Amino acid sequence: EKDGHDWFMRKEIHEQPRAVADSLLGRRAPNGELQLDEVRLSDEDLRDIDKVIIVACGTSFYAGMVAKYAIEHWCRIPVEVELASEFRYRDPILTPYTLVVAISQSGETADTLQAIRHARAQRSWVLAICNTNGSTIPRESDAVLYTHAGPEIGVASTKGFLTQLVACYLLALYLAQVKGTRYGEEIADVLDQLEAIPGHLERVLEQREHVYELARRHVGARSVLFLGRHAGYPVALEGALKLKELAYLHAEGFAAGELKHGPIALVEDGMPVLCVVPPRGRDQLHDKMISGIQEVRARGAHTICLAEEGDESITAYADELVRLPRVPVLLQPLVAVVPLQLFACELATVMGHDVDQPRNLAKSVTVE
């Protein structure tokens, strides 16, 4: 049942190329347009949307953070991302022109369910991104975009997260198509890039032994930091969450630019710092990240850098290096999170923990 793997989690990590490919099947209409038939909101209703609020918990919340970057960039609509447990209690501004997107793998998370009930009571549209057919959250939503991960058994979400990201990109592109903020060709280009992701993921997975070896080297660590910028920031948060929940280690993710505003004081000699390096591009993201890496390294951090193939500027500052395929910055979370999943899975395994059933955690959290 685990396909020769020791854990469901490890099996599910390896299923990700397939899960992403399945999530992209049948999305192109004969005229080349993106089709999301199951989103039952009419084009008129979608065109009127003037704000998106994403509500979710945990890993699904981090998928929502990535979605914000994509929707704002492609659709020019303001997006808020809110922890479902906080959303309802701050009197959010909801109108009939607000689209609330609830992201939930299980579809049963109580905090997220309460958030959508609140949104619907204010007459906002609710769209669920969910992996579980017929679960409560999609049943109580106006529309649903199902992810195609297949059942996720490991308590820590892996393929659930990747397919949520794909669903978020598709939703963002669809909104851009309906609102006319992107041309058909641009949308088709991104779909091409998404369709290349399963092949890229296979190449990332081929480096598994290298990542496992890195993880084993850090078994004694007391604390591990993760740094990212832009779409790499939620990846850093997700990497840290995986390590907390599986290895019971203190781990924290930071936006690299925030380091100097406080967290850099945490850095001690030999502390592992995993860095998600943005692809090289026209903006200064990449270079700014490199200076952040230099700063922690100058204070004794042991840097483990995830950087795209061909990026040689990183080699001087990386104590260890994991190569990522070259993809646009918005899509980089899809490939960058995988080494972090492998890292956490292996570290927890070597520490003797039950990776599929971490202490104190449940697969679906049905209490608020």
Binding site for ligand F6R (CB under 6 A): 57-60, 104-106, 109, 112, 156-157, 241, 245, 364-365
First to last CA, the chain: 33
Residues 6+ apart with CB under 8 A from 117: 140
Q: Which residue type, as a one-letter code, is found at position 65?
A: M
* Comparison of 16 and 157: residue with beta carbon closer to ligand F6R: 157
Nearer to ligand F6R, 105 or 177 (CB): 105
The token pair at 17 is 């190329």
Q: CA quadruple 279, 285, 289, 291: dihedral positive or negative?
A: positive
- Shortest Å distance, C-beta 185 to ligand F6R: 34
The Cα 58–Cα 238 span in angstroms is 8
Nearer to ligand F6R, 194 or 246 (CB): 246
Hey, what amino acid is at 2? K
Catalytic annotation present for 51: no
Q: In this structure, what token pair is assigned to residue 65?
A: 């953070």
Q: Least distance in Å: CB of 241 to ligand F6R? A: 6
* Neighbouring-strand partners of residue 19: none
Cβ atoms of residues 158 and 123 within 8 Å: no
Cα distance between residue 70 and residue 66, in whole Å: 7
Q: How far is the CB of 151 from ligand F6R (least distance, A)?
A: 12
Shortest CB 60 distance to ligand F6R, Å = 4
Task: List the catalytic residue out of 2, 51, 179, 363.
Answer: 363
Nearest residue to ligand F6R, scored by beta-carbon proximity? 58
The least distance separating ligand F6R from the CB of residue 240, rounded to whole angstroms, comes to 11
Distance CA 199, CA 196 (A): 6
Smaller CB distance to ligand F6R: residue 102 or 329?
A: 102
Comparison of 70 and 84: residue with beta carbon closer to ligand F6R: 84
Reported as type and span, the H/E element at residue 224 is: strand 223-228
How many angstroms separate the CA atoms of 356 and 236, rounded?
Answer: 21
Q: Are strands 79-83 and 51-56 parallel, antiparallel or unpaired?
A: parallel
The catalytic site residues sit at 363
